[in-house]
Amino acid sequence: MIDTSIKQKIDQWLAGNYDEATKSEISGMLERNEHEALSDAFYRDLEFGTGGLRGIMGAGSNRMNRYTLGMATQGLCNYLKQNFPDEQVKVAIAHDCRNNSDVFARIAAEIFSANGIKVYLFKALRPTPELSFAIRHLGCQSGVVVTASHNPKEYNGYKVYWNDGAQVTAPHDKNIIGEVNKITSIDEVKFQPNPELIEMIGEELDEAYMQEVLKLSISQEAIKRQHDLKIVFSSIHGTGITLVPEVLKRFGFTNVHVVQEQAEPNGNFPTVVYPNPEEKEAMTLALNKAKEIDADLVLATDPDSDRVGIAVKNQKGEFVLLNGNQTGALLINYLLQAWQKAGKLTGKEFVVKTIVTTDLIKEIADSYNVTMYETLTGFKYIAEVIREKEGKEVYIGGGEESYGYMIGDFVRDKDAISACALIAEIAAVAKDNGQSLFEMMVSMYEKYNFYKEELLSITKKGQRGAEEIQQMMADMRSNPPKQIAGSDVVEVRDYKMSTRKLIMTGEEHKLTLESSNVLQYVTEDGSKISARPSGTEPKIKFYISVNEPLASAADYDATEQKLNQKIEQMLKDLKLK
């Protein structure tokens, strides 16, 4: 049986001003008694969260479709016009390779134009970081990109940006949500476009963006000597194919092998289960190619090209995937080394990481006397720090464990295009010094500490799943462990309550970051576990970090085994395995 309130909503859609295809889809589900699917499609309105929309495509108030997108866009239009009353408001719009992304981008453009807003619409798919760049380059007040990042193929979404090229943060995020929530009917949405206000953009933006990426190169001499470094690149059917090969070529790399089976943009992602470079399965074809040609480096970007996964050969000659923490630490280590060598470190520079990203980055920054700022999860917070420090301090780079990095500040979101170029450059520098990228990483661990991180994601689908995740967080808050893997818990950080409690003394300190549903336990031996429900997927994520000194490269395997055992014990103690 369908709940009464859900049935009422279904009836409203069947009787309302919706197109026949939408009504037919709903009627078909009713005829087939697909009660569970209908309940999920209508039990709530697709939430316009702090970053925008994301959901499964289809008919229904809890689905991504022209109407949910339309109401969100109308709310955003209203907010922009309130905020910039005496200006010609301008927005930039890009889309990725997903099914309907081009359609949704066009619908959004038409609604903006119908509201008297000037639109710069990319004429074909483009990476998300290029959209971020375009906003500032074209002097826009806002921008949107139609993407669901690395979600499965059934999903699509819509990310909203502000005039600094960053995803919206407070107070705009909550205020936009308020305006979107005021739109209670699709009849309030202006769907009739004004074509004169829509301008198509493309190659000229590519060129301006790539010129900025090229300025990031530090070691051109090493690249000249190692130009034939064997690189395998896969765009996993996404937008990376539009720019990554060209940027690598312009950096000076002459031996780049594109994984052809994944080069064609395709929203069905036919060769992978999840189009996510964090998943080993998504990297299979790239790894096969790498083995075939004995590559030095494997790079793969997600559908909207804001994340990059990499693989390198370990000391036994086997290809291994590096996680986001390892790649992020390598990038920061390289950048700070290079800045110091060039005499550019003046004491005003800074790097940024999120609270669930490896503390190795802090150890590296401290060793160079470079300030490290920590933010909540999400690149919009990293961009917010850059905005606050602009003109006073100099941003070098930053990143988060989920494979997102940003070097330089011309883009204000994670950028896999520039990250691919810099990672290739680091691999070239390593080779120039007679090392592999993996050996360079081991040297970094010897200098600082061997940090090992693991992410455990637990999926809980639907309405019941969301309630279970809430209960898990409540239980961990009310009953924190006293010991994990034989080490006492010395600190509990509750970012929802903005408190940091020292267990030994009972002291409580205020956390300065804005409230977020994240809980962290820190143990006496320097281990850390963070629990965080995902804001965009029906998941709760556990981030585990452990570390040990690494005496020498010869001790790598034994130390890694020790760290793995510690992680395993932590998962058992927290009843997660």
CA 331 to mean position of chain CA atoms: 17
Q: What is the per-residue pLDDT for 47?
A: 87
149 included as an active-site residue: yes
Which positions ≥6 away from 432 have C-beta within 8 Å?
219, 222, 225, 226
pLDDT in tens, 389-425: 999 999 999 999 999 999 999 999 999 999 999 999 9
pLDDT in tens, 187-208: 999 999 999 999 999 999 999 9
**Pairing assessment for the beta strands 539-548 and 450-459 based on DSSP bridges:** antiparallel
Q: What is the per-residue pLDDT for 536?
A: 62
Angle (CA) 265-425-293 rounded to 5° is 60
Q: What is the per-residue pLDDT for 534?
A: 81
What is the distance between the alpha carbons of residues 80 and 91, in angstroms, rounded to a whole number? 10
* DSSP string for residues in 147-172: --TTS-TTEEEEEEEETTSSBP-TTH
Indicate which residue of 39, 61, 149, 545 is catalytic: 149
Give the tokens for residue 541: 């994520």
pLDDT in tens, 206-262: 999 999 999 999 999 999 999 999 999 999 999 999 999 999 999 999 999 999 999
Where the chain has pLDDT below 50, the residues are none
Q: Which of 469, 451, 452 is nearest to 460 (CA)?
A: 469
